[in-house]
Amino acid sequence: MAAHEADLEAIGLSEGLLDAGDQLFAREWLFEKGVVAASGLPVDGRIEIAFAGRSNVGKSSLLNALVNQKGLARTSNTPGRTQELNLFSADGMPFRIVDMPGYGFAKAPLDAVEKWNKLIRRYLQGRVELARVFVLIDSRHGLKKNDLDILKMLDETAVSYQIVLTKTDKLKPGQIERVKQSVLDGIQRRPAAYPFIAVTSSEKKQGIDTLRGFIARLLNDLGALQFEAGVDDGAGNSSSGTSHPL
Ligand SMILES: Nc1nc2c(ncn2[C@@H]2O[C@H](COP(=O)(O)OP(=O)(O)OP(=O)(O)O)[C@@H](O)[C@H]2O)c(=O)[nH]1
Ligand SMILES: [Mg+2]
C-alpha cells in the first residue's frame, strides 16, 4: 500500500472517498433559505450537516471553500455576520449544509445574540435530521470555554461532531501541531467526537478535500449514497473504496 493510502486509511478515508467527496461538491450549491426559528426548518427529512463555532471563526468561509463558490455564504470581518440558520442544498443531493450563527462575542445587540444562542442550542439539541456537526475552532485560539459547553451539549444529546481547525495559514507548522495535539487531548473520551482533527485554511484551500471526503464517508455510512468510485484490485474486481472502518 502506498504511503499516501496508508495515511488516508489511518484517518478513515480512501482515494475513493476523496473522489466521491469532490463529486458531491462539483455540483452547483444554492442558498435554500434562512431560518430564524426552529419552526421554520424544512420537514422533508433530508440529512443535515452543520457548521458551528464561535463568531468569526470562519464558518461561512469554509462553506464557500467546500462548495468552491466564493460568495455563496456571506462572510465578514465583523463577528456576528451570519444571523440565521442558513440552509444550502444542491439538486439531487440527499443532504443540505447548514451555516450557523456564531456563539460568543458578536458585534450585535445583546438581545439578538441571545436569540441566536437559543436558536443554536435548540437546533443542535433537537434536530433529528442533523447527522454531523463540524465544530470549527480558530487555530490561533484553541478550545475555549464556550466551545467546551457546545461539545458537552453535543455529547449529552449524542450528536456526532468533528473538530475543524480554521485559519491555519496564520500559523507555522509547529504551532499547528501543538494546537492540534491540545485539541485532540481536549476531545479524548468525549463520546460523540470523531477522533480526528481536520486542519484547514479556507484562504489557502487546505484541508478542504479531506473535509469533503469525511462528508462522503458519512453519507456512505448512513446509507444515503453508495459511491461508484472504485479501486481496482488488479484482477478486474472493483471494490467501493469506501469500506474502511476506523
Ligand atoms: N487568514 C484567513 N482568514 C480567514 C479564513 N477563513 C475566514 N477568514 C476570515 O475570517 C473572517 C470571518 O470569516 P467568516 O467566514 O465570516 O466567519 P464566520 O464564522 O462565518 O463568522 P460569523 O458568521 O460572524 O459567526 C473573515 O474576514 C474571513 O475572511 C482563513 O482560512 N484564513
Ligand atoms: Mg458566518
- Dist. CA 236 → ligand 2 center (Å): 47
CB 55 less than 6 A from any atom of ligand 1 = yes
Architecture of domain 3-227 in this structure: 3-Layer(aba) Sandwich (3.40)
Return the closest-CA partner of residue 60 out of 77, 82, 36. 82
126-136 burial, b if ≥16 CB within 10 A, otherwise e? ebebbbbbbbb
* Lookup: cell for 108: 450585535
Tens digit of pLDDT at every position of the chain (246 positions)? 677 888 899 999 999 999 999 999 999 999 999 999 999 999 999 999 999 999 999 999 999 999 999 999 999 999 888 889 999 999 999 999 999 999 987 788 888 888 889 999 999 998 999 999 999 999 999 999 999 999 999 999 999 999 999 999 999 999 999 999 999 999 999 999 998 999 999 999 999 999 999 999 999 999 998 875 443 333 444 444 443 333
Give the residue, by CA position, lying nearest to ligand 1 atom 9.
58
* Lookup: cell for 127: 434536530
Distance separating alpha carbons of residues 8 and 189, to the nearest angstrom? 23
Atom of ligand 1 nearest to the CA of 83: 23
Atom of ligand 1 nearest to the CA of 82: 23
**Which ligand is in closest contact with the Cα of 116?**
1
CB 77 less than 6 A from any atom of ligand 1 = yes
pTM of the predicted protein model: 0.92
- Sign of the dihedral defined by the CA atoms of residues 95, 134, 208, 243, in that order: negative
Q: How many helices (H) and strands (E) does the chain have?
A: 7, 9
Per-domain boundaries in the chain: 3-227
Distance separating alpha carbons of residues 101 and 86, to the nearest angstrom? 8
Give the residue, by CA position, lying nearest to ligand 1 atom 30.
167
